[in-house]
Amino acid sequence: MFEDGTIINELLIERLNYFIYVVLLLIGLHAMIAKKNLIKKLIGMSIFQTAIILFYVSIGVKEGSTIPVYLPEHDPHGSHSVPSDTNETSHFDHGPVILDSSLVKGYANPLPHVLMLTAIVVGVATLGLALALCQRIYQGYGTIEEDELLAKMESREIRSKTLSVQIPKDQKLPKKDELKKEKSRSVSKSKTLSASKPKPKGKK
């Protein structure tokens, strides 16, 4: 691919977006694979997803076009147009029309933007879930370093084997009265806490 220099030129100058997205993506990917810290992995994941978003947005670029919101003259309701002296109904005069193909070139492609809106939301959801997992891991093992985590998991496994208790500790089924106790404890706790608050109303 590099047999003539033009491609490199093209890549670095004319298609800088594509080049940058690849670099970002690789940074993210490397962080996800090689970093030992779970949070760093998640940062890598975010970079990775952002790179893909950048790529998609690059697809939507059209030279000399504006954002995909109708200009006043094409607006079906004229809600963008400068208020004129005529009464409200005049906005509906020109009504919705199918845009001419020459005018189509004037707007950027809306589809990649829509797709990326979805991808961003998915990324946020994944990140939130992953952070919750990290907290859970930290609660359980007291570390978010991958190698320490593995070591702790292994030692626990060995311990549980020697104790011939095959069910992991936290899977043990709590008895009913224990549950009740727990409930009452948490209720009382929330009472004591909310007592110090200025507005305890509405709290169940």
Partner 1 sequence: MKLLSYIPVLVVGVLLLYAAKDFPEWGSPDAPASKSPVSSHFIANTGVDTEVPNMVTAVLADYRGFDTMFETVVVFIAGMAVLAILKNSGRKKLVKREFEVDAEPDLIVTNTVRLLVPVIQIFAFYVLAHGHVSPGGGFQGGVLMGASFILVALSWDLETALIRFPLNWTTILGGLGIFLYAGIGLLSMFLGGEFLDYSELANIFPVSREMARYHAMLGVEIGVGLTVTAIMFSLYANLSTEGRLQRGL
Partner 2 sequence: MENSIAWIFIFPLFGSVACAILGISNRKICYPIAVLSMAGSLWAGIETLRQVLSVNDHTVSYLFGGWTLDAYPRGVGIEFHADILGILITLVVLGVGLLVSLYSKLPVEEETPGKEPLFYTLFLLQVTGLAGICLTGDAFNLYVLIEVAALTGYGLIAIGSNRAAAATFNYLILGTIGASLYLLGVGYIYIKTGTLNMVGIHDIIVAEGLADSATMQVAFVLVGVGILIKMAFFPFHAWLPNAYSNAPTTTSCLLAPVVTKVMIYVMIRMVLSVFGVEFSFESTLWTDVLPWLVVVAIVCAAVMALAQREIKRMLSYLIVAEVGYMVGGVWIYNYYGLIGSIFHVISDACMTLCLFLGAGLILRKAKTTHFDGLRGLFTKMPLTMTGFFIGGFSIIGLPPTCGFFSKWYLITGGMVSQRWEYMIVLMFSTMVMVVLFFRMIERIHLAVSESGENLGHGHGDLGLTDQQTRFDEGPLSMLIPLLLASAVVLVVGIYNQEVVSLIEVFLSDFNLPRGEGIK
Kindly identify the residues of this chain, within the stretch 26-65, that bind partner 1 according to CB under 8 A: 26, 29-30, 33-34, 58-65
- The two structure tokens encoding residue 166: 């095959």
CB of 89 to partner 2, least distance (A): 29
SS3 label, residue 178: helix
CB of 115 to partner 2, least distance (A): 6
Residue 158 interacts, among partner 2, partner 1, none and using kind-specific CB cut-offs from 5 to 8 Å, with none
CB of 72 to partner 1, least distance (A): 9
Interface with partner 1, residue 181, by CB under 8 A: no
Return the closest-CA partner of residue 51 out of 76, 75, 29, 78. 29
The residues of the shown chain that bind partner 2, judged by CB under 8 A, are 25, 29, 32, 38, 41, 45, 48-49, 52, 55-56, 59, 111-112, 115, 118-119, 122, 125-126, 129-130, 132-134, 136-137, 139-141, 149, 153, 166-168, 170-171, 173-174, 179
The number of C-alpha atoms within 13 Å of 200 and in the hemisphere containing its C-beta is 8
Among 9, 12, 73, 117, binds partner 1 (CB under 8 A): 117
Interface with partner 1, residue 96, by CB under 8 A: yes
Amino acid identity for residue 107 in this structure:
Y
- Residue 107 β-bridge partners: 66
Buried b (16+ CB within 10 A) or exposed e, 137-175: beeebeebbeeebeebeeeeeeeeeeeeeeeeeeeeeee
